[in-house]
Structure 1
Amino acid sequence: MTGPQKAAVMLVQMGKERSSKVLAQMDEEEIEALTTEIVLLGEIEPTTADDVLVEFYNELTGTGQLGTGGMGFARSLLESSLGKDRAGELLDRVTAGQIGQPFDFLQEADARQVLTFLTGENAQTIALVLAHLSPVKSSAAMTGLAPDMQAEVAHRIATMERTPPDVIAIVAETIMRKASTVLTPQSTATVGGVQPLVEIINRADPGTGKHLLEELAKRDPALAEIVRAQMFTFDDILTLDDRAMQIVLREVDAATLAVALKGVRTELRDKVLGNVSERARENLLEEIELLGQVRLSAAEEGRAAVVSVIRRLEESGQIQIQRESDDEYVA
């Protein structure tokens, strides 16, 4: 443990009243450094506490009264020492300096570079890193993984819970060493869970997305259903009411829509054609006919573009998507 870490353990063991008196004798820089360590401590192992207490020859050694660090203790301690307003300001600085920093240096890397930096890492490490990157970058990197690794990483992202800051720091340091000759470290991050995986799959190419869901269903059927319930595919336009469909169609250009409708089921085409004017319907049908044969990949890109518009409109609150888990509405 570093000196500040030991001091933080010591302050926690001493209790709020005694610790606040100690902090009152320090300058702001020292207080900020110790507060950072207290926030990161969490639950203190008995052996760790004993070692620190013995080292400081503290009179509390052997009492068995072990404390717990964390944000709550840090806030209470600082409010006793500095007052509520100053404590809030200091904790805001500490929080801003600690949350989300580890993997932002990868935000400047492209997907191929990210894959290079992750070469040789296990699925849990890759999942941790991708969960901290933007969905667009993560989905691009996911596409470059081997199929078996894709499925394993997807499952781990979806089931990921809180990761201890020291573990994140170790992983970030390992990846940063690989990237140090190419990238310059910066700062930011997020968390894992089902939603980041949904974002990654929604932005992946259709083939990768389908593979991930199929493999996830093999490993954890219930989890796969949760992921599917939160996703929106082109086929799901059938669930949109006419008003929402009309709003969507105003945002999609005719050329993209024509490509997207090539080869779709009759009910999907009818859903779109039933929500445009007669003139627009005639023009759209003519454009579809003039296209002739199109590559499946091109048609899927068109459908992905439509889905992207739908997701944007939902996020902005202009339309609402009815999902299986949502309550139904009555008039």
Structure 2
Amino acid sequence: MTAAMLTGTQKAALVLIQMGREAASGVMQQLSEQEIEQVTAEITRLRTVDEETVAEVLEEFQRTAQRSLSVASGGYSYAKRLLEETLGREKAAEVLERLQSRVQVQPFEFLMHADARQVVSLLSGEHPQTIALVLAHLRPEHASAIMAGFTPETQTIVARRIALMEGASPDVVSLIADQLKLKATNLITSQELTSVGGVQPLVEIINRADAATEKLILEGLSSQDPELADQIRQLMFVFADITLLEDRAIQLVMRAVETATLATALKGADDSVRDKILRNMSERARENLLEEIDALGPVRISLVEEARSRVVQVIRGLEERGEIMISRDGEDEYVA
């Protein structure tokens, strides 16, 4: 597999994965709803990619940022920093050097810097598959702005087609590009693309995202592909899964979570979750927690979800450090 075989959105997903789960989670939290759905779909379908392809994708990302420098300041510096953080300074320098003699044009480059409203007008009346193919080649933030211009019904159809896109031959891409070029009176170059699959990278990112982002991704996928959403949920650790942890694991988690956060997280929680936590606290700590819960009064759901997300992130951190292990299929978990 080469970089030329990946769509623009798949490349964005690959860049996110190369950034690392924590950094990628932070980026996802800054994206809009449509952008999250687009990138999410590609992350779920991305399998192992060889090192050469990864380097090619990062090089292409750098080229795109470099071309955008005249339009949006800071693009080149950001891309350079991303390369250094991903590959290290020495490797990044090699990549940047190769960029001087390698230039590759995207198939829908004439739309890269077009106003989102103009692109919406251009694509209006086109088949949803055509819209999906075009958006898959654009920068996530640009595609997001364009997607927002369509009706909710069209957004759902297009998002699903992007998620399930199996691939498009160079001839198909070229034909679509030529047709749009006639409408937009701009130049175009075709490029081969191919789609791949897998959900684990997305699960890792969602598990480190905030509650709002997690909810947005899962709700979006549920409306587009319930089976895929269920598959992801089965692999995720959510707040209710605290009941699966051993008592010693619960005790480690409680030491790392502030009482105020825990009290908020337990508002409206199932009795099984509440009992699991209370059983693993000292009598004094239990009394303090119950008093704080009662003192909170009504709490906004968004705040409860945010608190639960913090608890889950603590659990994931303990798992990464090998201090606890999480069971996802009814297996026994234990503390190292």
TM category (shorter chain) comes to: 0.5 to 0.7
Query: Equivalent of 2:33, from 126, 144, 147?
Result: 147
**1:286 matched to which residue of 2?**
291
Report the CA distance between 1:218 and its aligned residue: 4.9
5+ residue gaps in structure 1?
1-41, 44-101, 103-120
| Structure number with bigger Rg | 1
Alignment of 1:242-321 (within 5 A): 242-321=247-326
Do residues 186 (structure 1) and 84 (structure 2) align?
Answer: yes
- 1:196-240, Cα deviation, whole Å (9 max, x unpaired): 211211122222212312333455555433422221111111222
Structure 2-normalised TM-score?
0.53
Query: Equivalent of 1:201, from 202, 206, 209?
Result: 206
Alpha-carbon contact 2:246-2:333 (below 8 Å) kept: no
Report the CA distance between 1:167 and its aligned residue: 4.7
Alpha-carbon contact 1:235-1:268 (below 8 Å) kept: yes
User: Hey, what's the Cα distance between the residues in 2 that align with 1:314 and 1:166?
Assistant: 31
Query: Equivalent of 1:133, from 1, 7, 19?
Result: 19
Report the CA distance between 1:180 and its aligned residue: 1.5
Report the CA distance between 1:166 and its aligned residue: 5.5
Alpha-carbon contact 2:245-2:327 (below 8 Å) kept: yes
Alpha-carbon contact 1:123-1:149 (below 8 Å) kept: no
Quick check: 240-249 or 320-329, which moved more? 320-329
- 1:81-109, Cα deviation, whole Å (9 max, x unpaired): xxxxxxxxxxxxxxxxxxxxx9xxxxxxx
User: Hey, what's the Cα distance between the residues in 2 that align with 1:327 and 1:242?
Assistant: 12
Structure 1-normalised TM-score?
0.54
User: Hey, what's the Cα distance between the residues in 2 that align with 1:247 and 1:140?
Assistant: 25
**1:116 matched to which residue of 2?**
none
User: Hey, what's the Cα distance between the residues in 2 that align with 1:328 and 1:293?
Assistant: 35
Alpha-carbon contact 2:61-2:79 (below 8 Å) kept: no
Secondary structure (helix, strand or coil) at the match of 1:186 reads helix
Quick check: 248-257 or 157-166, which moved more? 157-166
Alpha-carbon contact 1:229-1:325 (below 8 Å) kept: no
Q: AA paired with 1:297?
A: S
Alpha-carbon contact 2:221-2:229 (below 8 Å) kept: yes
Q: AA paired with 2:86?
A: T
Judged with a 3 Å threshold, the aligned counterparts in structure 2 of structure 1 residues 328 and 303 are, in CA distance, closer, same or farther, namely: closer
Query: Equivalent of 2:44, from 144, 158, 172?
Result: 158
Quick check: 164-173 or 293-302, which moved more? 164-173
Query: Equivalent of 1:238, from 237, 243, 250?
Result: 243
Judged with a 3 Å threshold, the aligned counterparts in structure 2 of structure 1 residues 327 and 292 are, in CA distance, closer, same or farther, namely: closer
User: Hey, what's the Cα distance between the residues in 2 that align with 1:122 and 1:173?
Assistant: 13
**2:140 matched to which residue of 1?**
none
Alpha-carbon contact 1:131-1:196 (below 8 Å) kept: yes
User: Hey, what's the Cα distance between the residues in 2 that align with 1:149 and 1:256?
Assistant: 30
Identity of aligned residues (%): 48
Alpha-carbon contact 1:154-1:212 (below 8 Å) kept: yes
User: Hey, what's the Cα distance between the residues in 1 that align with 2:289 and 2:35?
Assistant: 42
Judged with a 3 Å threshold, the aligned counterparts in structure 2 of structure 1 residues 182 and 209 are, in CA distance, closer, same or farther, namely: closer
User: Hey, what's the Cα distance between the residues in 2 that align with 1:202 and 1:220?
Assistant: 20
5+ residue gaps in structure 2?
66-74, 88-196
Report the CA distance between 1:137 and its aligned residue: 2.4
Judged with a 3 Å threshold, the aligned counterparts in structure 2 of structure 1 residues 259 and 328 are, in CA distance, closer, same or farther, namely: closer
**2:221 matched to which residue of 1?**
216
Query: Equivalent of 1:174, from 47, 60, 74?
Result: 60
- 1:139-184, Cα deviation, whole Å (9 max, x unpaired): 2322333423322321211221244656544432332131315553
- 1:245-270, Cα deviation, whole Å (9 max, x unpaired): 22322332322212222232333222
Q: Tell me the C-alpha RMSD between the 2 structures.
A: 3.2
Alpha-carbon contact 2:17-2:24 (below 8 Å) kept: yes
User: Hey, what's the Cα distance between the residues in 2 that align with 1:135 and 1:238?
Assistant: 25
- 1:5-30, Cα deviation, whole Å (9 max, x unpaired): xxxxxxxxxxxxxxxxxxxxxxxxxx
Judged with a 3 Å threshold, the aligned counterparts in structure 2 of structure 1 residues 280 and 193 are, in CA distance, closer, same or farther, namely: same
